[in-house]
Amino acid sequence: MGVAAAAVLIVGCLGFMLVKGTGAPSGPVKAGDCVDTGFEADGGNRIPASLRVRCEGSDAKAKVLKVTDEGKATGLRVTSRSEPDCPAGTDGVTNVRGEKTDENYFEACVRNVKGPHPGDPGAGGAFLTVGDCVSSGSIGFGKEQPCAKQGWYGKIIARVDAEKSCPAQTLEVMKMRSFSGSLAKPVLCLGPGGGVLSPGECIDDPSFKVGDLDKADCGSSQAVAKVVGRVATQQECPAEATHYMTSEGAYRPVLCLKKMRPTLTEKLRSLPG
């Protein structure tokens, strides 16, 4: 068995849900307006409905950064759509009515008036962006999680349209999928850190491992090999490499290793010479 195959991250549907609100200025909803709904890090992928309110009022919870769409409300409580095109710093997306009696809504990217801000890099909420952390997708589906929480797998160093556009320091990628519509820049480029193996780090015995390889302290008896490279082909492994492991379909499918100790089963393949 090789290194865990390239992971897939699923982006859930965004739902619309009607809520009540009170008081609002007149005219179309625009950037700079305020709404009575704020967002938390664990808010999920739902798009709650909200009402525009005065920014000076105590019920102002978030400010509109950008209006991305508008439409007519239907009898359905939940609808789906792909990820909106929101600017950096967005804490969430809400379906805003200018007045309680309005039949039309404005889909808006908003930022909380007061912290915390789940849309900040690494905070664990809103949309995936550079600086955010994700859990592993080797078994099941990966998802965003706060970088301050232990156990995150990878940190995003770029979000691009295709793997070939990832920066040079990329070690692994995750591919976002949506249940509805297309996603802009669906490839997440992951750099070193977390569970992503980097040159200079060591691995535990992979003999009976399912999923991601476990890291081990290089000075401990659990370390069976040191990572000396992550490359496209075994011919690219550096001279110090004695063994390798492969992961079909991965961004860098060959893990170059310098073996330190025997393993219970021979999963580390010997390099020629």
Q: Quick one: average pLDDT of 31-45?
A: 84
Question: 184: closest CA among 127, 250, 251?
Answer: 127
CB 105 within 8 A of CB 95: yes
Higher per-residue confidence, 219 vs 209:
219
Domain end position, chosen among 112, 143, 162: 112
Residue 211, in any domain of the structure: yes
Distance in angstroms (rounded) separating the CA atoms of residues 77 and 195? 39
How far is residue 85's CA from residue 89's CA, in Å, rounded to a whole number? 12
Range with the poorest average pLDDT among 6-10, 113-117, 199-203: 6-10
pTM: 0.79
Say if 6 falls within a structural domain: no
7 within domain boundaries:
no
Range of the domain at 174: 121-190
The pLDDT tens digits for 177-189 are 876 667 888 999 9
Domain final position from 59, 80, 112: 112
The number of folded domains in the chain is 3
Query: Is 223 in the same domain as 161?
Result: no
Within a domain: residue 2? no
> 58 and 93 share a domain?
yes
| Residue 11 falls in which region: left (phi positive, over 0), alpha (psi -120 to 50) or beta | beta
Q: Which amino acid is at 55?
A: C
Q: At 47, is the pLDDT very low, low, confident or very high (cuts 50, 70, 90)?
A: confident
Distance CA 52, CA 59 (A): 10
4 lies in a domain? no
Q: What percent of the chain has pLDDT over 70?
A: 82
128 and 106 within one domain:
no
Same domain assignment for residues 174 and 226: no
**pLDDT 10s digits, 94-131:** 999 888 888 889 999 999 999 899 989 999 887 888 99
Residue 5 lies in a domain: no
pLDDT, residue 180, reads: 65
* Statement to judge: residues 106 and 22 lie in one domain: yes
Q: Is 113:47 a contact under the CB 8 Å cutoff?
A: no
Taking the mean position of all CA atoms in its chain, how far away is CA 174? 8
